[in-house]
Structure 1
Amino acid sequence: MTFRKTAARIVLATILLGALPDFACAQMSHQHASEAACEDTVLRCASKVTPAFAPDGTLWLTWMAGGQISVASSKDRGKSFSAAVQVTRDRLNLDWGPDARPKLAIDAKGDIALAFSIFRDQAFNGQVLTTRSTDGGRSFDPPKPITANNESQRFEAIGFDPAGAVFVVWLDKRNRVPAQQRGEKYDGAGLFFASSKGGSASYSEAQLVADNTCECCRLGLAFDGAGHPVVVFRNIFEGGVRDHAIVTFTDLGTPGEVHRVSRDDWQIAACPHHGPSLTISREGTYHVTWYTNGKARKGLFYARSRDGGKTFSDPLPVGQPNRSPSRSQIAAGPQGLAMAWKEFDGQKTSIHLTTSNDDGATWSKPTDIADTADSSDHPLLVSDSRQTYLSWMTKADGYHFQAIEGEP
């Protein structure tokens, strides 16, 4: 694997559009067995790895390997890691979907909230499990369901608000059976949420944000300057159009209006398995990246909102269309915005990076910063108080955690 510096700046809008290539279609028909390097629970065997920084600068990783969830920490920004701690006790049928992964959030005291999902049956009905650590990650409570409802839940996102409350949002199919019993067609799933305050391991009753959303894409979660949750998700609009939408909460228990991010007109009666990414800058601007194969546009795109998600800028294309750009991730760090995504040239997968120091008005020339010749996880971006980093798990080359050079 190689890492390279970022280059000169250009306007992102100059990157050309393209159609959905065969490789992007292949990514959506996920073959989970090939992604793990081995069947043990250690980090080098992981297929999905998720990073998070604690307020004290400790880097935490959670990963799925060998049918279990583990965590480890690093005090030297990824150069070395502590011994792994097993979060789960037994081998589980972990959700291996393309957009599924364990997630963690860390509060100001170093307490950790962790969520992941499992498959309960062969029909891909899932169950979201959560756990907490109140001793700095040395041990975790036994994982328990986020809700007592026994219908399918998947694609959870979790975070701490500034007051230390945990907020969880997920996709939930509890409204499917009642609709069918009424003789009504039910598309997709419901977007549900719950919260936990005061260090409690229990969550509030699940509440609905929006029904009939796309059931198989990851969610983007961030908190605005007032500490309110903001969620971006793939919705099902009229006519079976699966475009992205966003909602800003007025408090932990009250979702606001749902607004459309972009009119891509992707009419598909299937699962894209390719969700969005969301970050909110210090200026309060919402920044969203997403994938579409719509009639209006195809590929990866970026847009921003300066009015709390009510309206968004015109979508700007991301990546080289002849190299199947996919899995974009965006992050607001201490030195500005960074966006990373995958491309495939027919032989190797590479990670490309672009940065912005003017709140998304212009972006640097995209640069190839890492590559691998075998299967790999999505590229993730994570920031501490000084720097933004690329986190990427690969089958052939192992786990890589790299400071992004040349940030604005």
Structure 2
Amino acid sequence: MKKWIAPAAALMLWQAPVLAHDMRSHAGEAGCAEVTLACATKVTPAFGPDGKLWIAMLAGGNVAVAASTDGGRNFTKPVAVTDQKLDMDWGPDARPKIVIDKHGDLIVAFSTFRDKAFNGEVFTTRSTDGGASFAPIRPITPSNISQRFEALALDTDGTVFAAWLDKRNRAPAKKKGEAYDGAALFFATSKDGAVYSQAQLAHDNTCECCRLGVAFAGHGHPVVIFRNIFNGGVRDHAIVTFSDLNTPGQIHRVSNDDWKVNACPHQGPSLSIAPGGTYHATWYTNGKNRQGLFYARSTDGGATFSDPVAIGDSAHNPARAFVLATAKDTYLAWKEFDGEKTTVRMMQSADDGKTWSEPKTVAATADSSDHPLLVSDGHTVFLSWMTKKDGYHFQPVGQGT
């Protein structure tokens, strides 16, 4: 099993028992000011149509991209996507996003902090010259309230679908004397990755501090999984399938965990949709009905989900699960922390998520680390994992076809 490794920087988080093994990306606290992979704290991979591997990284207080043509063993010199240092969103679930369209153009999105109250702003930019330079960054929406936790996905025709959490509806509700919890799920689309449509509301009163999962269930049908706020302040997960790029469908509950909490879990879900249409979802909860990491599948377009399956060893703080479904198998990766070292554990399903292999360790580090991510070039499934002590892991872990 091959992997390429380079040094990086560190993080500690408020939710110590579960998240103390994550990396800190607050530029002032990371202690590494260079825009290099060695200084990266968050790394997001994506393959282009030509098979080239690209990564978007948060490093030295900036967002930058780099490319590899040898399976992640070597990368080009990073190119910054901004011409100035910004107050990057360093929250546990925040990270730069990257997709590459059919023309090879790079589309990047990231969020910054507007103020010390953690109100954010999402910016986008693109490169039309193979990552050599980037257009000036633009806000994804004119609203100057707060946007965070953006997610990008490409439709089969190259249309960019973007979703994020937005607080613009909070002040008007309070002005009317109405209670308003959390934020809202907003979305927009772009034909070229440069100009986005007017932002639209998909669902109000969502949890305001967890990443989103986005995938496509066929052409023109984006699907978003998110932590919702149900009646009584219960922060369980929900999913919405769009009937077209502009029309969100009905909200369905992924699982009844009954996690009633007036706080930010800072740990969102992941979603992957198999070529055959099965939805695969993972999430974290500390609810009344269940606690820990879980997986479930849906074969009816997200209307209902299977009984949740627990992921990982509860004695080792399992966290940050990520699922990827390919034409052949389905893969699950997550982190565990035993008090001394962090391991990335994996399971594999050969029957569309009905049954799973025994967990196995595929990577480990004795220091802090980023979230484990999975990505496929259509032939091979790779683990992407940034660590402080051992650098960047990019290694094959399965077959994509």
Structure 2: distance between partners of 1:385 and 1:25 = 32
Distance 1:334 1:82, change over 3 A: farther
Residue matched to 2:250: 257
Matched, 1:75 2:43: no
| 1:244 partner amino acid | H
Percent identity over paired residues: 61
| 1:243 partner amino acid | D
The root-mean-square deviation of aligned C-alpha atoms, in Å, is 2.1
**Structure 2: 5+ residue runs without aligned partners?**
4-14
| 2:254 partner amino acid | V
Q: Equivalent residues in 2 for 1:281-292 (5 A)?
A: 281-292=274-285
| 1:364 partner amino acid | S
Q: Equivalent residues in 2 for 1:291-302 (5 A)?
A: 291-302=284-295
Q: Equivalent residues in 2 for 1:5-404 (5 A)?
A: 23-24=17-18, 26=20, 32=26, 36=30, 38-197=32-191, 199=192, 201-404=194-397
Shift of 1:30: 6.9
Structure 2: distance between partners of 1:370 and 1:127 = 34
Q: What secondary structure does 1:193 align onto?
A: strand
Shift of 1:406: 8.2
Higher RCO by CA contacts (8 Å cutoff, separation 6 or greater): 1
| 1:185 partner amino acid | A
Shift of 1:81: 1.2
Structure 1: distance between partners of 2:220 and 2:390 = 38
Residue matched to 1:16: none
Distance 1:33 1:200, change over 3 A: closer
Structure 2: distance between partners of 1:51 and 1:356 = 23
Shift of 1:38: 2.0
Residue matched to 1:15: none
Distance 1:35 1:46, change over 3 A: farther
| 2:56 partner amino acid | T
Q: TM-score, normalised by structure 1?
A: 0.92
> What is the CA deviation profile of residues 134-183 of structure 1, one whole-angstrom value per residue up to 9, with x for unaligned ones?
22222111111001011010000012111111110000000011111112
Structure 2: distance between partners of 1:335 and 1:269 = 41
Residue matched to 2:8: none
Shift of 1:124: 0.4
Shift of 1:250: 1.1
Shift of 1:112: 1.4
Q: What secondary structure does 1:363 align onto?
A: coil
Structure 2: distance between partners of 1:378 and 1:176 = 31
Shift of 1:24: 1.1
Structure 2: distance between partners of 1:30 and 1:311 = 37
> What is the CA deviation profile of residues 328-351 of structure 1, one whole-angstrom value per residue up to 9, with x for unaligned ones?
001113531111000001101110
| 2:206 partner amino acid | T
| 2:179 partner amino acid | K
Structure 2: distance between partners of 1:214 and 1:103 = 20
> What is the CA deviation profile of residues 26-83 of structure 1, one whole-angstrom value per residue up to 9, with x for unaligned ones?
5799784698462211011011000001121110000011111100111111121122
Report if aligned partners of 2:386, 2:392 keep a CA contact under 8 Å in 1.
yes
Report if aligned partners of 2:23, 2:41 keep a CA contact under 8 Å in 1.
no
Structure 1: distance between partners of 2:218 and 2:198 = 26
Structure 2: distance between partners of 1:347 and 1:280 = 35
**Structure 1: 5+ residue runs without aligned partners?**
4-20
| 2:155 partner amino acid | D
